[in-house]
Amino acid sequence: MKSLLRNTVLAMAAPLLLATGQARAALELNMPRGVTEITREVYGLHMLIFWICVAIGVVVFGAMIWSLIYHRHSKGAKPAQFHESTTVEIAWTLVPFLILIGMAIPAAGTLIKIEDASDADMSIKVTGYQWMWEYEYLDHDVQFFSRLDEATNQARQLKSGIDPTSVDNYLRDVDKYVVVPVDQKVRLLLASNDVIHAWWVPELSGKKDAIPGFINEMWFKAEKTGIYRGQCAELCGRGHGYMPIVVKVVTESEFEAWVNEQGGSMTTDAAEQAASGTQVASAGTTATDAAVDAPADSAAADEGEGQSSEPVQVADAGDAPADGTSEGAAGLSMDDLMAQGKKVYDGQCAACHQVDGSGMAAAGFPAMKGSPVATGDLAEHIDQILNGKGAMPPYKDTLSDEEIAAVITYERNAFGNETGDIIQPADIADAR
């Protein structure tokens, strides 16, 4: 029996030992101190209450362990007769109460600081989508989507055969970083296009929910340049684990260069407007109110639009990505469309419809291979991708005409579908 037990333990520990032998990031045990004043304060609060708990634990568990050792029946201990003491009861009601007050005061101070997003230097509107983030720099006229990076996306597929440890920043890298300047108070306005998400980069701040119909507010002021990573923290469907956040904190001049590179401007008009006038209440703001207050020109939740089961459209369709919509009049070649289409498909569609187009019948995701839509009526195909159907989200706001044209071309010619159809961005523009 004993040797069996030992062997079992060894057998269980073996893979563990192997795993720890591999080269990995250092084992993190505690909350990061972060690179902002607030995260350091929060870390301080966390450690304060932790040590208070440890101290209480030492006293309580100490007394208990003492009893367990010395007040044993087997050692002939005779039970005492006491079973009541009002003095003691009052003491151990009052003392914890006082300790709690000692904890509540600094916690309240920090909380009030966290909730004060006034006097921000710049504002970014962050919109959660299933499953990516959209960032709009309200003061700089920069807008983009940020999705899981391609290397991780390949490796994360079910039974991909790719070792996650061989991918840099597995599940924590995106195709486009959020770039912000160091030592500036950056205000985030959080919204959502579909379900509730939560934006969380532990080294910059705590988390806050992005809720459809609400605009929430949070801020951070990074004191150190560098790259900081986080993830969506609110269950948002099957891609919840696959919408990371990467923030790159750079110097002021690098930020300026980046904005110019993105085709934005460093004009201060918008910046002043965002920083001074428009306070967005962080709670209780309904979509309609928020649309009035928020500097963003987001057409929030149209009363008449969409029944309850449909995702709420917060983002304006007019804001759709502009890149790639002005292709040459001659159109794109089949090869180009197929190459780009595969990229879009693997990134956006494969999670449900699978890389090989086989779908997942059990979960209700139809196969692409031989699909009546992908091999049949083109207008229906375009419509489903633009406007979604059932569990499938609409892509009209998140993909450009070129991307949609490419992915439809790909779906109609890959997986043995071989329809020979070539769809051009102009066809999509017409269908919109």
Partner 1 sequence: MSEAHAHDHHDDHHHGPEPGIMRWIKTTNHKDLGTLYMWFSFTMFMIGGMMALVIRAELFQPGLQFVDPGFFNSMTTMHALVMIFGGVMPGFVGLANWMVPMMIGASDLALPRINNWGFWILPFAFTLLLSTLFVDGGAPAAGWTMYPPLVLQSGDSLPLLIFAVHMMGVSSITGAINIVVTILNMRAPGMTLLKMPLFVWTWLITAYLLIAVMPVLAGAVTMLLTDRYFGTSFFSAAGGGDPVMFQHIFWFFGHPEVYIMILPAFGIISMIIPVFARKTLFGYDSMVYATASIAFLSFIVWAHHMFTVGMPVAAELFFMFATMLIAVPTGVKVFNWVATMWKGSMSFETPMLFALAFVFLFTIGGFSGLMLAIVPADFQYHDSYFVVAHFHYVLVPGAVFSIMAGVYFWLPKWTGHMYDEKLGKLHFWLSTIFVNVTFFPQHFSGLAGMPRRIPDYATQFAEFNMISSIGAFGFGFSQLILLFVVIKCIRGGQPATGRVWEGARGLEWSIPSPAPYHSFETPPDVPDSEVTSAQEQHA
- Kindly report the number of other CB atoms within 10 A of residue 200's CB atom: 18
CB of 411 to partner 1, least distance (A): 21
Q: Which residues contact 374 (CB under 8 A, 6 or more apart)?
A: 368, 381, 411, 412, 417, 419
Among 92, 268, 379, 416, binds partner 1 (CB under 8 A): 92
Task: Tell me the torsion sign for CA atoms 88, 94, 97, 103.
Answer: negative
Q: Binding to partner 1 by residue 4, rule CB under 8 A? A: no
Q: Read off the tokens for 219.
A: 């801020």
Which CB atom, from 43 or from 144, has the smaller least distance to partner 1?
A: 43
Q: Binding to partner 1 by residue 269, rule CB under 8 A? A: no
Q: Name the segment binding partner 1 (CB under 8 A); options: 205-213, 249-257, 376-384, 423-431.
A: 205-213
Which CB atom, from 60 or from 339, has the smaller least distance to partner 1?
A: 60
Residue whose structure tokens are 């807008």: 143
Q: Read off the tokens for 334.
A: 């089949």
Asked if 264 and 144 touch (Cβ cutoff 8 Å), the reply is no
Q: Tell me how many residues contact partner 1 (CB under 8 A).
A: 127
Q: Which residues of 209-219 are buried (b: 16+ CB within 10 A; e: fewer)?
A: bbbbebbbbbb
Q: Binding to partner 1 by residue 155, rule CB under 8 A? A: yes
Q: Binding to partner 1 by residue 72, rule CB under 8 A? A: yes
Q: Binding to partner 1 by residue 71, rule CB under 8 A? A: yes
CB of 235 to partner 1, least distance (A): 5
CB of 305 to partner 1, least distance (A): 6
Which CB atom, from 136 or from 234, has the smaller least distance to partner 1?
A: 234
Q: Binding to partner 1 by residue 96, rule CB under 8 A? A: yes
Q: Which residues contact 268 (CB under 8 A, 6 or more apart)?
A: 139
Task: Tell me the torsion sign for CA atoms 64, 66, 70, 74.
Answer: positive
Q: Binding to partner 1 by residue 41, rule CB under 8 A? A: yes
Q: Binding to partner 1 by residue 217, rule CB under 8 A? A: yes
The most distant pair of C-alpha atoms in the chain lies apart, rounded to whole Å, by 98
Which CB atom, from 71 or from 432, has the smaller least distance to partner 1?
A: 71
Which CB atom, from 128 or from 425, has the smaller least distance to partner 1?
A: 128
